[in-house]
């Protein structure tokens, strides 16, 4: 596992005081190692999970050539351009789920239902509504069909032996259906990751607490909870942690022991006089950055290390008995277990933006997902936007479709990083890239659409 120092040394032009947003993702890709433990789960339970191995199709889907319509199956070689076709109807009907067992003479057709196996030698289906039937005689008008029409090929969806799904794919509704269509009751997925989160800051109130002067209610835990839950990870809510060394140490230690990753908010700004940064530094291998972005800027990233518990009659320490607590720098040997740390800024919008831009892709990697970054849409800016080159800006935007079909985007107005309301009004983020300058009205800009993520 590379250290912060090793990753930093390998990164071109690494400057923790002015890190471009793209370097943050590069850095995190080096820091995060995907989980390796896997488990087999049933198809229903696989929703949102990440596939741990390719799913190779044991069967062909569909397993036979079959009819795509209710109609009459016949030999398409009999079709002649410009001429109607007269066919004699054979006895019986080919139903879905039951093979038609009759024998056919030249020029005969068979009544067939959607999904029924194509009788041997027949390759074309004329829909019921296209023909004239007179007793056992069927007449097809000229030039309405081509050979092979309305026939689905065996293996058209999937051929036996071919990979139907790839390792690293997050399983959505379509994938569940596909797995079931292969007759597979279970699939192997990566274990679910667990993410602990807490808010820091003495001015932060939990719900239910009586407001005092200078306090604000904690909103970050709720947005982080929502963002994590939408990703399908297991969450561990650790509340608001007071800006006291003992409380912070206990929280970080518990989180590192129980979770794969820790997300905190607040207390990482440069001028911050609190203990959060100091405790991160003490308990782990952590970098403190000023990112060239807006909103966001300060962020701490690294690992919090779990120390070895002193032997307790050969058993694990009881719940709550935290070794090292209150003994900062006790120099305990490491267990090898650590949790990733994402120390996000405190501002509610900055939390969401840094989560979307950096934490989400990093957690996806941790989950074993090979998902690529979300596709950015292009929209015409409905207003001029001020932008300084040399930093990435994420403005809250409302994307709409114009009468002419083009996408247009306007901002939600006040872009203050504390204005959470604007995040609710927005349906995407306008991404103004690092080197980009001012945007004129009508210019094309990139937009990250929330689409189920928020």
**Residue numbers of the site for ligand AMP (CB under 6 A)?**
199, 201, 203-204, 216, 218-220, 265-267, 269, 272, 345-348
| CB atoms near residue 425 (< 10 Å) | 13
Question: Considering the rule CB under 5 A, would residue 266 count as an interface residue with Mg ion?
Answer: yes
Residue 66 interacting partner from Mg ion, ligand AMP, none (CB closer than 5 to 8 Å by kind)? none
Q: Between residues 267 and 298, which has the closer beta carbon with respect to Mg ion?
A: 267
Distance CA(348)–CA(281), nearest Å, equals 24
With beta carbons less than 8 A apart as the criterion, state whether 191 and 35 touch. Answer: yes
Least CB distance to ligand AMP at residue 267 (A): 5
Cα–Cα dist 238/253, whole Å: 12
> Any residues with CB less than 8 A from the CB of 1 and at least 6 apart, and which?
33, 303, 338
Cis peptide before 295 (omega within 30 of 0): yes
Smallest gap from Cβ 235 to Mg ion, in A, equals: 23
- 345 makes contact with Mg ion (CB under 5 A): no
Helices and strands (H and E) in the chain: how many: 9, 26
296 part of the interface to Mg ion, by CB under 5 A? no
Q: How far is CA 241 from the centre of its chain?
A: 29
Measured distance CA(153)–CA(118) in Å, rounded? 10
* 147 or 217: CB nearest ligand AMP: 217
Phi then psi for 63, rounded to 5 degrees? -75, -15
Give least dist CB 197 to ligand AMP, A.
10
- Residue among 307 and 345 whose Cβ is closer to ligand AMP: 345
The one of Mg ion, ligand AMP, none whose footprint includes residue 70, by CB under 5 to 8 A per kind, is: none
Least Å from the CB of residue 202 to Mg ion: 8
Judged by beta carbon distances under 5 to 8 A according to partner kind, the member of ligand AMP, Mg ion, none in contact with residue 304 is none
Nearest approach in angstroms of CB 31 to ligand AMP is: 22
Per DSSP, 403 falls in state T
Query: Rounded to the nearest whole angstrom, what is the least distance from the CB of residue 188 to ligand AMP in the complex?
Result: 38
Question: How is residue 88 written in tokens?
Answer: 């004699």
- Compare residues 81 and 214 and give the one whose CB is closer to Mg ion: 214
Decide the pairing of beta strands 108-112 and 71-74.
Answer: antiparallel
Among 226, 182, 192, 165, which residue's Cα sits nearest to residue 41?
Answer: 192
Encoded one letter per residue, x for contact with Mg ion by CB under 5 A and - for no contact, window 200-219 reads -x------------------
Binding at 369: pick from ligand AMP, Mg ion, none (beta carbon under 5-8 Å per type)? none
Which listed range, 127-135, 233-241, 261-269, 431-439, lies at the site for Mg ion (CB under 5 A)? Answer: 261-269
Q: What is 215-273 written as a DSSP string?
A: -EE--HHHHHHHHHHHTT-EEEEEEEE-S-HHHHHHHHHHHHHH-SEEEEESS-STT--
The CB-of-221 to ligand AMP minimum distance in angstroms stands at: 6
CB of 320 to ligand AMP, least distance (A): 25
Looking at the Cβ atoms of 154 and 205, the one nearer to ligand AMP is: 205
Report what 204 binds from ligand AMP, Mg ion, none; CB cut-off 5-8 Å by kind.
ligand AMP
**Span near Mg ion by CB under 5 A; candidates 29-37, 151-159, 259-267, 398-406:** 259-267
The C-alpha atoms of residue 294 and residue 104 are separated, in whole angstroms, by 74
Q: How many residues does the chain have?
A: 454
Q: Which is nearer to Mg ion, 42 or 416 (CB)?
A: 416
Taking CB atoms, the residue at the shortest distance from ligand AMP is: 346
Closest to ligand AMP by CB, 199 vs 392, is 199
Query: Exposed/middle/buried for 86, CB within 10 Å: 0-12, 13-18, 19+?
Result: middle
Return the one option of ligand AMP, Mg ion, none that residue 296 interacts with (CB less than 5 to 8 A, by type): none
CA distance 350 to 328: 31
- Contacts to Mg ion from residues 183-202, by CB under 5 A: 201
| In the complex, minimum distance from the CB of residue 420 to ligand AMP, in angstroms, rounded to a whole number | 8
For residue 245, list its beta bridge partners.
none
CB of 304 to ligand AMP, least distance (A): 19
Phi-psi region of 30 (alpha: psi -120 to 50; beta: other; left: phi over 0): alpha
Binding to Mg ion (CB under 5 A): which residues in 23-42?
Answer: none
Segment contacting Mg ion by CB under 5 A, of 79-87, 130-138, 162-170, 265-273 = 265-273
Would you tell me which residues interact with Mg ion (CB under 5 A)? 201, 266-267
């Amino acid at each position: 596992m590379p250290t912060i120092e090793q990753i930093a040394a390998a990164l071109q032009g690494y400057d923790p005081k002015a890190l471009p947003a793209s370097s943050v993702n590069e850095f995190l890709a080096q820091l995060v190692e995907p989980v390796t433990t896997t488990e087999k789960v049933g198809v229903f339970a696989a929703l949102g999970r990440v596939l741990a191995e390719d799913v190779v199709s044991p069967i062909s889907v569909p397993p036979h050539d079959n009819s795509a319509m209710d109609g009459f199956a016949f030999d398409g070689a009999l079709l002649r351009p410009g001429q109607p076709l007269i066919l004699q109807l054979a006895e019986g009907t080919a139903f879905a789920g039951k093979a038609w067992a009759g024998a056919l003479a030249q020029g005969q057709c068979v009544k067939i239902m959607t999904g029924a196996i194509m009788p041997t030698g027949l390759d074309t289906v004329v829909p019921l509504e296209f023909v004239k039937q007179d007793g056992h005689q069927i007449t097809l008008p000229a030039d309405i069909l081509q050979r092979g029409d309305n026939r689905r090929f065996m293996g058209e969806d999937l051929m036996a032996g071919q990979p139907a799904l790839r390792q690293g794919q997050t399983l959505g509704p379509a994938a569940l259906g596909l797995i079931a269509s292969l007759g597979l009751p279970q699939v192997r997925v990566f274990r679910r990751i667990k993410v602990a989160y807490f808010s820091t800051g003495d001015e932060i109130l939990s719900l239910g607490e009586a407001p005092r002067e200078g306090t604000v209610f904690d909103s970050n835990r709720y947005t982080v909870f929502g963002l994590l839950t939408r990703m399908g990870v297991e969450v561990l809510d650790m509340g608001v942690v007071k800006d006291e060394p003992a409380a912070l140490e206990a929280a970080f230690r518990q989180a590192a022991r129980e979770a794969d990753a820790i997300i905190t908010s607040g207390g990482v700004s440069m001028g911050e006089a609190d203990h959060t940064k100091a405790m991160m530094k003490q308990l782990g291998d952590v970098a403190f950055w000023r990112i060239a972005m807006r909103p966001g800027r300060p962020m701490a990233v690294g690992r919090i290390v779990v120390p070895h518990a002193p032997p307790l009659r050969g058993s694990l320490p009881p719940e709550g008995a935290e070794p090292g607590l209150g003994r900062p720098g006790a120099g305990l040997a490491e267990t090898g277990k650590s949790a990733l740390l994402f120390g996000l800024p405190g501002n509610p919008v900055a939390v969401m933006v840094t989560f979307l831009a950096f934490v989400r892709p990093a957690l996806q990697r941790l989950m074993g997902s090979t998902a690529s970054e979300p596709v950015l849409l292009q929209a015409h800016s409905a207003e001029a936007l001020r932008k300084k080159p040399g930093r990435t800006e994420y403005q809250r935007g409302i994307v709409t479709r114009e009468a002419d079909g083009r996408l247009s985007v306007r901002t939600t107005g006040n872009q203050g990083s504390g204005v959470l309301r604007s995040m609710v009004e927005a349906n995407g983020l306008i991404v103004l890239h690092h080197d980009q300058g001012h945007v004129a009205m009508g210019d094309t800009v990139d937009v990250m659409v929330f689409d189920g993520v928020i």
